[in-house]
Amino acid sequence: MSQREIGVGVIGFGLGGRVFHAPFVSAVTGLRLAAIMQRTGDAAAKAYPTTRIARSLDDLLADSSIELVVVSTPNETHFAMARLCLEAGKHVVIDKPFASTSEEALALGKLAKSKSLLVIPFHNRRWDGDFQTVRKLLQQDAIGRLVTFESHFDRFRPIPRENTWKEAENPANGMLFDLGPHLVDQALALFGPPAAITASVRSDRDQTAIEDAFDITLHYPAANGKGLLAHCRTSYLACDYAPRFLLHGTKGSFRKHGLDPQEPALVGGAKVPVQGSQQVWLQEEESAWGTLTVAPNPADPGTLITRQVKTELGDYRGFYANVRDAILGTAPLAVTPEDGYRVIRLLELARESSAQARTLKVEF
């Protein structure tokens, strides 16, 4: 197919639209940021003075030059917004969570398929540098047979923020559906569907209307009884953050602190270079690299060697480059509607496991 330019419309210009979508759409060759829907205010117009600003969804969807729409609105609106975009004949990227329920996720996938369109979960954290580093170490068998995988995404916010939908009581809000999709999707990308799930989903702060902490364990049994446990954890009361990743295996361990630098860089005003330019985006500082500790001789476990592991380059442009290629028919979709459905279903099962205080079998 011809390498035509794909017009993109972004719905919403809060943190998601401003930091994660508009900058990366603008930086990927073959994509054109055609419109941003911001109902009120002029922040989008100031940031992108040559981009059309739409004040309503109807206005944006009426633009025939737009092939792809990005939904970056409050969580509970994702399904309705995405459905309208699909019905208007647009491909859709949906910021996490993909939907509020697994039934909604399935419905979006079926609707998109019936119209020969793509509906894509924004699971951008597969393009985090630290995650790419973990994937590479596992491919290299650097720590041997993996026994436990631990992934944390912690914050310290003991007092709920005021005047934000993110702190409003709604099953689609809260940490489980905010950060849970990132952690669970990364585990699924590495290990595939688990056999069982055990979870604790809680409200730990003194005053809160949302789920603000969770511990999810995904069980991956093996035929020889020596399986893998993948732990996904988040807390709003983590004043001293746990490692972002902690892996233990038969040869050694890998520990990585800190978050991928792309989000804080953009919040701080950094500009994403256009894909193909000579500027590197975005190398993590050496002080933040993770450490790999191994025992060269398992018979002498007291003699260990520790070294830093350079963090792979994280690059959210890769997500949108794949979306572009999938629309053009030149590459398979990296993050599929099925991925979005499975993540939401696992989050639902996490709630059920927590409420019943037991381990549940995973079936999709």
Q: Which CATH number fits domain 6-124+318-332: 3.40.50.720, 3.10.28.10, 3.40.190.10, 3.60.21.10?
A: 3.40.50.720
pLDDT surpassing 90 at residue 338: yes
| Position 1 confidence tier, pLDDT thresholds 50, 70, 90 | very low
Residue partners of 231: CB distance under 8 A and separation at least 6: 148, 149, 150, 151, 215, 216, 217, 218
Within 13 Å and on the Cβ side, how many CA atoms surround 190?
A: 29
Q: What is the mean pLDDT of residues 203-210?
A: 96
| Start-end of CATH 3.40.50.720 domains in the chain | 6-124+318-332
Distance linking the first and last C-alpha atoms of the chain? 35
pTM of the model: 0.95
Q: Tell me how far apart the alpha carbons of residues 241 and 135 are, in angstroms, rounded to a whole number.
A: 22
Cα(101)–Cα(103) distance, integer angstroms: 5
Would you say residue 2 has pLDDT above 70? no
* Geometric angle at alpha carbon 153, from 18 and 26, rounded to 5°: 20
Average pLDDT of the chain to the nearest whole number: 96
CA-nearest of 214, 271, 262 to 237 is 214
Q: What is the arrangement of strands in the sheet containing 196-202, beginning at the earlier edge strand?
A: 305-309, 290-294, 252-256, 245-249, 146-152, 228-235, 213-220, 196-202, 360-361
CB 243 within 8 A of CB 255: yes
pLDDT tens, 139-171?
999 999 999 999 999 999 999 999 999 999 999
Torsion sign across C-alpha atoms 29, 4, 96, 157 = positive
pLDDT of residue 27: 97
Determine the pLDDT at residue 56. 96
pLDDT of 129 higher than 50: yes
Per-residue confidence at 342, pLDDT binned at 50, 70, 90?
very high
Question: What is the average per-residue pLDDT within 230-253?
Answer: 97
Question: What average pLDDT score do residues 64-83 get?
Answer: 97
pLDDT score for 147: 97
What pLDDT is attached to residue 41?
Answer: 94
Task: Give percent of the chain above pLDDT 90.
Answer: 94
Q: Is the pLDDT of residue 64 over 50?
A: yes
Cα 200 to the center of its chain, rounded Å: 21
To the nearest 10 degrees (0 to 180), the angle between helices 337-356 and 180-191 is 110
How far is residue 133 from each of residues 4, 44, 178, 254, measured CA to CA in Å? 33, 34, 23, 10
Whether the pLDDT of residue 36 is over 80: the answer is yes
Distance CA 197, CA 341 (A): 16
Residue intervals of the chain classified under CATH 3.30.360.10 are: 126-314+347-356
Band the pLDDT of 336: cuts 50, 70, 90: very high
CA distance 302 to 36: 58
User: How much is the pLDDT for 224?
Assistant: 85
**Architecture of the domain made up of 126-314+347-356:** 2-Layer Sandwich (3.30)
Task: Please state, for a pLDDT cut of 70, what percent of the chain lies above it.
Answer: 99
> Environment class of residue 227 by beta-carbon count within 10 Å: exposed (0-12), middle (13-18) or buried (19+)?
middle
